[in-house]
Amino acid sequence: MKKIMNDANDFVKEMIEGVYLANKDKLEWVPEINTLYRKNIPEGKVTIMQGSGSGHEPAHIMCVGKGMLDASCPGNVFAAPPMDFVYQCTKKIASDAGVLHIINNYQGDRMSWDMGREMAEMDGIKVGVVVVNDDVSVEDSLYTVGRRGVAGNFFVIKCCGAASEKGASLEELVALGNKVNANVRTMGMALSSCTPPPKGTAIFEIEDDEIEMGVGIHGEPGRRRDKIKSAYEIVEEMFKAVSEDLPFKKGDRVALMINGMGGTPISELYITYREAALMCEEKGLTIVKNYVGNYCTSLEMAGFSLTLLKLDDEMEALLDEPAEIPVRIF
Question: 1 forms bridges with which residues in the sheet?
Answer: none
In 3-state terms, what secondary structure has residue 231?
helix
The model carries a pTM of 0.96
Characterize 197-234 residue by residue with b for buried, 16 or more Cβ atoms within 10 angstroms of its Cβ, and e for exposed: beeeeebbebeeeebbbbbbbbbbbbbeebeeeeeeeb
CB 136 within 8 A of CB 155: no
Domains of the chain in sequence order:
8-182 (3.40.50.10440), 184-318 (3.30.1180.20)
How many helices and strands, by DSSP H and E, does the chain display? 8, 12
Report, in angstroms and rounded to the nearest whole number, the Rg of the chain calculated over CA atoms: 19
pLDDT, tens digit (0-9, with 9 covering 90-100), for 257-288: 999 999 999 999 999 999 999 999 999 999 99
Residue 52: phi, psi to the nearest 5? -110, -150
Q: Cite the active site residues.
A: 56, 218
Q: How far apart are CA 301 and CA 230, in angstroms?
A: 19
| Stretch 286-293: mean pLDDT | 98
Q: How far apart are CA 211 and CA 54, in angstroms?
A: 24
| 141 pLDDT above the threshold of 90 | no
C-alpha torsion angle, residues 158, 264, 292, 295 (rounded to 10): 0
Helices (H), the chain: 11-22, 83-93, 107-122, 153-165, 170-182, 231-243, 266-283, 313-319
CB 258 within 8 A of CB 272: yes
| 328 pLDDT above the threshold of 90 | no
Question: 226 forms bridges with which residues in the sheet?
Answer: 211
| 221 pLDDT above the threshold of 90 | no
pLDDT, tens digit (0-9, with 9 covering 90-100), for 12-61: 999 999 999 999 999 999 999 999 999 999 999 999 999 899 999 999 99
